[in-house]
Structure 1
Amino acid sequence: MTAALATPLAEHVHWAIDREVSVLPRIFDPEITLAVMQRTLSPEVVGGARAQREARFPLSFSWRGNPEGEALGDDLRKALHAPETSAALIEDVVTLAQAMAYLFETEEVGVRLRRLDEAMCPRFHCDRLPVRLVSTYLGPGSEWLPDDAVNRAGLGAPSASKPDILRVPEALDTLSAGDVALMKGTGWVGSEDRALVHRSPGVSPGEMRLVLTIDPV
């Protein structure tokens, strides 16, 4: 993830990127639509993520509840392939879910952990909710655009009459595996018309992604 850190495109920078966890509350700044904590995953977490490749069927875990109890960890252990190898991965998911609940002062979060063998949302879009946490454990991370590179008239359902969404191809930026990103959606008051534009990356044959999303409820 390098392009947006140096790009001169955006007249008003609307992202905050750092290696410290203190960057995540920057999502509450009115001008910020993307807050990213860059991090390197431990070998134990990566090992747990890689174990999901061995499962016969792709992992598609969905959960909603209070992450402060033991239910989330217990349900992950039941759902994940090779749970004995995935302890660090499970702990990481629970920690991020608890952090999301704390940051947004909610007792419930929605958690999804999926193994993807193709792009889940290949078209540029904005999420129709206030905010979402996105983190990729394996494979390429989500792609996103600075505001100045977006033609928002092209968003929504595709049609021949709509212009291309991407105005400046070289402005495309990509999150790295391990990054914890908070993305504002159209449901965030004040960001209805300027929510972050992003998409799922393409997945090459034989490649896979393991992606976590968390929504405050």
Structure 2
Amino acid sequence: MSVNSEVCAQTQSTKYLIDESASVLSEIYDPNTALACYCTPATWAKSRAAVHYVKKAPDHAFQYQGAINEELSEQVKNVFVGTAHGNLLVEHIELMLCMFDALLEPKEIGLRILPCTYAMSPAFHSQNGIVRMLSTLGGSGERWLEHGFVEYYPLEKGQFTPAVKKPKECNVNTLCDGDIALMKGKNWLDQEHNAVVCSSPLFGNDTAKLCVYIDYIS
């Protein structure tokens, strides 16, 4: 079997799983699963709390690298001190950390809590790293494509990875406000062709969203 045939076969069997049960996240260990999403719509109060926080502190991004522990929990709580219904945001992020820890048992993670008013990575691209858990509060979340709808530009001189062509809107999938998803990256063992192709959430005028990313480091 040629390399192209192997990629084609893998693409055809790739699974993108979305369920209202959190147990769907464990399916990320299935070799054919590229994305697993726990569909858990944010309440009105949680979504508004996120928007309120972002508009109050648009430049206060929180970044952390290390273990999941009590110290991290305290740091997350401190981020939202004084925020109306900030406890709802803390609970959401702590749930993500708890699930990530239980599923993947990482020694080290990277956590980013980003107040966003514009798309940080608007172009579609293959997910980097090993695996990422992500969620958006305050509006629609990350956008992603099934591999069958991904088209690439020819490689330019000096390029090692081809750029993804802008897809038709009808082929774009979007995570909902509050959804918690796991996406495989190019460095998941033997899964480099199963990395999710995605882009940042869409933003309109006066849109504010809280984007949370947890990356597996080791």
TM-score normalized by the length of structure 2: 0.82
- For residues 170-209 of structure 1, what are the structure 2 equivalents within 5 Å? 170-209=170-209
Relative to its length, the structure with more helix (as a share) is 2
**SS of corresponding position for 1:148:** helix
For 2:45 and 2:167, the matched residues in 1 are separated by: 40
Deviations 1:28-57 (A, max 9, x none): 111110101101223443343133034154
Partner of 1:31: 32
Q: Unaligned 5+ residue runs, structure 2?
A: 1-10
- String of CA shifts for 1:71-115, please: whole Å, max 9, x gaps: 223212332362463012112212211210221112332211111
Q: Tell me: CA distance 1:47–1:139, structure 2 relative to 1, closer, same or farther (3 Å).
A: closer
**Structure 2 CA distance for aligned equivalents of residues 14 and 102 of structure 1:** 22
Post-superposition CA distance 1:88-147 (Å, at most 9, x none):
211221221121022111233221111111111011111220110110011221111011
Q: Is the 8 A contact 2:14 2:194 kept in 1?
A: no
Q: 1:58 to 1:154 in 2, by over 3 A?
A: farther
The count of residues paired between Structure 1 and Structure 2 equals: 204
2:21 equivalent in structure 1? 20
Name the structure 1 match of 2:3.
Answer: none
Q: Is the 8 A contact 1:17 1:35 kept in 2?
A: yes
Specify the code of the residue in structure 2 equivalent to 1:76. V
Give the stretch that moved more between structures: 45-54 or 143-152.
45-54
Task: Single out whichever of 119-128 and 38-47 deviates more from structure 2.
Answer: 38-47
1:193 is paired with a residue of what secondary structure? helix
Distance in structure 2 (CA, Å) of the matches to 1:201 and 1:53: 15
- Percentage of pairs with the same residue: 26
Change (3 A) 1:164 1:77: closer
Q: Aligned equivalents of 1:84 and 1:164: distance in 2? A: 40
Note closer, same or farther for the CA distance 1:129–1:122 as it changes in structure 2 (3 Å cut).
same
Specify whether residues 189 and 212 from structure 1 end up closer, same or farther in structure 2 by C-alpha distance, changes over 3 A only.
Answer: same
- d(CA) in 1 for partners of 2:130 and 2:200? 19
> Aligned partners of 1:125 and 1:191: how far apart in 2?
16
Matches within 5 A, 1:1-217: 11-69=12-70, 71-80=71-80, 82-83=82-83, 85-153=85-153, 165-166=165-166, 168-217=168-217
Change in 2 beyond 3 A, CA 1:11/1:66: closer
The whole-number CA distance in structure 2 between the counterparts of 1:156 and 1:199 is 22
Counterpart residue identity of residue 108, structure 1: E
Give the deviation of 1:155 after TM superposition: 8.6
Deviation at 1:168, TM superposition (A): 4.8
Check the 8 A contact 1:101/1:108 in 2, yes or no. Answer: no
Q: Contact between 1:51 and 1:81, CA under 8 Å: does it hold in 2?
A: no
Which runs of 5 or more residues in structure 1 are unaligned? 1-9
AA matched with 1:138: G
Aligned alpha-carbon RMSD (Å): 2.6
